[in-house]
Structure 1
Amino acid sequence: MRIARFVHAGGMSFGVVEGDPDGLTVAEIEGHPFGQISFTTQRWALADVRLLSPILPSKVVCVGRNYAEHAAELGNEVPKEPLLFLKPSTSVIGPRDAIRLPPQSKQVEHEAELAVVIGPPGARRADRATAERAIFGYTCANDVTARDLQKADVQFTRAKGFDSFCPLGPWITTSLDVSDLEVRCEVNEEVRQLGRTKDLIFDVPTLVSYVSHVMTLLPGDVILTGTPAGVSPITAGDTVTVRVEGIGDLANPVVGLE
């Protein structure tokens, strides 16, 4: 099932995306998708609505250096346990929303990632099996990073935390085997990153369990699982597309701030 959050003529709703790429529609559901799915009578062609970020998380928990080749390309060691950092909820944007380049940075880069969405009742100090049951679904993410600020600050908060630095979407896909999926990033249709989730140093259940032993994961929280090698700068006028096999495409234009 593909769960979207979208704006239509009557307001904002959650819905289920149905059909094939040539004729996608979205069927409105009652209330929030974490409960029993109940459809209203409303349905739109996907082209006639505007997709938003599929969820509004209380926090975005990110995992650094979770692909060996990416750690190596930045001159870092592979961590012995998951390396965690946070992105604020205010960094989240949806499909087609603009990534806004901050004037403080001269080197902003893309990072394509598989994102995990936590479902009810959340997770706290969960073992591996409980962690797997806490997963509602998956979406695409771009962990946009001001690389020069990351190097200057050592810690990641400023470099990762600017408004618009966490595109999510296009929807949440449930019931997906994520053990070996392609993760791709294209900039203006040029392939910049191409990896597979089988190469994650710490797999998804391990990450959910590990994070839940540090902080309580609430329904709707998002975990970014790490990025494959190939990160590189983006500039105003670019379009960045993150594609995760089995989920879809997340495309965002890049603009400069006046």
Structure 2
Amino acid sequence: MRETRRILLDGTAVDVVRHGDTLVAGDGRSIGVDEARHLPPVAPSKIICVHLNYSSRVAEMMTKLPPAPTYFHKPISALNAHGSAVVRPLGCKWLNYEGEIGIVIGRTARNISPAEAGDYIRGYTVGNDYGLHDFRDTDSGSMLRVKGADTLCPLGPGVVEGWDFRGKGIRTLVNGVAKQDGNTDEMKWDMHYLVADIARTITLQPGDVLLSGTPAISRTVYPGDVVEVEVEGLGLLRNKIIEGPSGVRTDVGAQPTESEEVLSTAQGGDWEFRGIRKPDLSKTF
């Protein structure tokens, strides 16, 4: 396997290859893994995410999968990197982690079969599909404001080529305590299926990223929390939650809410109104 990263080296964005605990640039310059300032490992033209895929998450949300995957879009302005801060806007409360695996496209893909899809994948990276559930009641289920805010798509630390996605563990830890603990064998639709499905109607370009779903136990995190997503064979993505210096404007647009759907999604089985029937999330995810 080969792992590449993108870092700031002497003030310039540089692609590097990992050799053990050292990152080496093409011109021979090197830096320790723990000393490097990481950037997002790819520069996608689009970030596409599947709503539900892991069986444990489907069971937790007391819903059922549709006949085929459904998706939403995170804007590229949401991109973030290993070691960087994830910003919760002032006045918002319900920011949740979702540990995921990112599929990185390596060749232009259009109208390919699942059997061919592996040839169009460059490699895989670790992702965290953060959601700001304060806005879950807006956008008619498109998830734009829930999942699209600045900093809510950290990826990295690198892209690993030659990795087999089958039977791999995925965990999310908050302040060192494991919260999510799943396996890719839970996925209803594997990496090759997802790429082929999207590429039926949307041309995938080199660097594009597909986030492939999260296992059960997505929960709220707070300023000061350190969130780590660890995937077997791909490494560990670490970010700290901070509170932004300003909130969302109140003179325009939908405002944060705390409806039953917001609370049940953010808090899962632990939410304070758990005696009330949870809403049907199969239509809005």
Same fold (TM over 0.5): yes
Alpha-carbon distance in structure 2 between the residues aligned to 1:65 and 1:71: 7
CA RMSD of aligned residues (A): 1.3
Q: How many residues align?
A: 243
Deviates most, 148-157 or 46-55: 148-157
TM-score, structure 1 normalization: 0.90
Q: 2:24 aligns with which of 24, 27, 35?
A: 27
User: Structure 2 vs 1, CA of residues 66 and 151 (structure 1 numbering), >3 Å: closer, same or farther?
Assistant: farther
In structure 2, the residue matched to 1:35 is none
User: Structure 2 vs 1, CA of residues 65 and 194 (structure 1 numbering), >3 Å: closer, same or farther?
Assistant: same
The answer to whether the aligner puts 1:127 opposite 2:141 as a matched pair is no
Q: 1:169 aligns with which of 156, 160, 176?
A: 156
- Asked which structure has the greater CA Rg, the reply is 2
Whether the 8 Å CA contact 1:185–1:194 is kept in 2: the answer is yes
Whether the 8 Å CA contact 2:56–2:186 is kept in 1: the answer is no
Deviation string 1:75-128 (CA, Å, 9 cap, x unpaired) is 3321210111100001010011111002463211000001110002x2111112
Regions of 4+ moved over 3 Å? none
Counterpart of 2:118 in 1: which secondary structure?
Answer: helix
Alpha-carbon distance in structure 1 between the residues aligned to 2:208 and 2:214: 19
In structure 1, the residue matched to 2:124 is 138
Percent identity over the alignment? 34
In structure 2, the residue matched to 1:147 is 133
In structure 2, the residue matched to 1:94 is 81
In structure 2, the residue matched to 1:234 is 221
Counterpart of 1:158 in 2: which secondary structure?
Answer: helix
In structure 2, the residue matched to 1:71 is 58
Letter in 2 for 1:220: G
Structure 1 unpaired stretches of 5+:
30-39
* Alpha-carbon shift at residue 72 of structure 1 (Å): 2.9
Counterpart of 2:221 in 1: which secondary structure?
Answer: coil
Equivalences for residues 168-247 of structure 1 within 5 A: 168-247=155-234
Structure 2 unpaired stretches of 5+:
246-285
Alpha-carbon distance in structure 2 between the residues aligned to 1:251 and 1:181: 19
Whether the 8 Å CA contact 1:105–1:149 is kept in 2: the answer is no
